[in-house]
Structure 1
Amino acid sequence: MKRIVISFLTIFLFTVTQAQDINSQKLRLDLAYLIADAANGFPETLNSFKEKTIYNTSYTVKRSLFGIKNKGGLFYKPPKEKTKYTEAEAERFYFGQSFKPEDSFYELIRDSLEIIFDATAKEAGLKKNKIKPPKEYKNKWDEYTYSSNNKPAFGFIKYKETNAIYVSIYSPFRPKDIAPPLKTLGCIVFSLGNFTYKYVSPVYGQSLEDIRDTKALAARAFSNSGIAEKDYQYTWYPNKTFYDIQQMFKKPIIVQEIGGITVK
């Protein structure tokens, strides 16, 4: 990441004098600042905790592109395991800001952002990758990331229907208030009634040695699921992920995740 910062600042110094106007200079300066701060975990950009949802944890920011703080933010996405329908996703901590056609500076972002990122990536030895969207979002957007060893440094998304552009700058660290992700120790699989459905609750923790009572664990997992029925059977599968369980059962059995639980 240090090399990326140095390369970006070098490009900035060589190109800023050639910028057509002050807004082009501002874009390069803001990008350089955010990339440099990302290398240290965004200590200068992060302002305060905003909210936590099932998708991510978000934070307000002190700095953003062109100073438009209400359009930018910091986001932490926890890792996701592979399933039958989706690929695994690594955890991500990144700055994100969107630009719509009606927004200020949209045309500058549209015309200059990719050129700046391409030049920076070339100097830093980053690889430009086009990310394939999920099947249900095919032809909805074009996404590019600039990465080293499959770890993204920055990137952008161009949405085809709205023409909006989303800029992302990634940090190699997670926020200080986010604990390291827990391991998947195994899965509890519930069977009800005619056994057509298998309900799966992944179990997260640090070690299998922490699991002393699978019956109590299953009762807590089933209670958290919200399923109205009370008569169930369960099987504990240590060292198995939800994807592993999906692969174990074939049609006509339907495998459904009901939410995971932690050991402690």
Structure 2
Amino acid sequence: MVWVLSLVIVSKFLLGFAQVGEGICSAGGESCTVDQQQDVVVTIYSYDRPRYLLLLLEDIAREADRAELKVHVHVIDDNSIDCIYPAQQDNVYDSDSKYENDLREFSIDQKSSQFDLICPSLPRFRRVLEIVATRNWKFFSSRERHGKKRYWHQVAQAHRLLEGIQTRFFVFLPDDDRLCADFFRKAISAWEKIADTDKASLMLHVEEKRAKEAVWTPLKPVREGHVYRIGWVESGNFLCTYKLLELMNYSFPRIPSNR
């Protein structure tokens, strides 16, 4: 069972959520060990938008400090930084190909400037990598460009990184979203107010028409208190607990390339 907050959207670049009647602004790998219990782990899907990504990371840092929460972040970069693998211009994947875990972690070396010479994209991403390093977050990049047709594979890899991490909540966001003031408290409070113990996820950002009509499944959204009950969840813009990821076996199903 999936839930969505009643929607208020100002623009694509302003993430927020609204309760009914009240407007509010809008894993398992060895290299991904998190040493301590977290309150929230945020996964950000990103491709070649370092300015937007930096703004979102700064929002997360600000809101984590404001809420006095332990918040960890995984940035999942779709081969737009060429410091690990050569950058790819095209999506080379066939959606029916064998699953491969091609994510590698990258962290900036503050003691060396060699990356400025062998990694042309580094100046554009430097501030992103600096805040990631300062907050002890993690930045992963893929060997190949996934694009839309292979996006399911990127999500599957991101989910696998979360297996074994101890946290109360997981949040998934695209890199061009922005967080409103008191974001974490509002999102967690909205989740905790949902009485249904079978709740699976809470969408934080949905187009208005999709909050009113059936999407992907026959279930038509039904308003229940401060949220709508819907029948679907996307890969980004939602909050959940480990129960949803366990249900998906910390992976994601293949999606045919003709979809």
Normalised to the residue count of structure 1, the TM-score between the two structures is 0.29
Q: Which has the higher contact order (CA 8 A, sep 6+)?
A: 2
Q: Which has the higher helix share?
A: 1
Q: Which has the higher strand share?
A: 1
Normalised to the residue count of structure 2, the TM-score between the two structures is 0.30
Which has more radius of gyration? 1
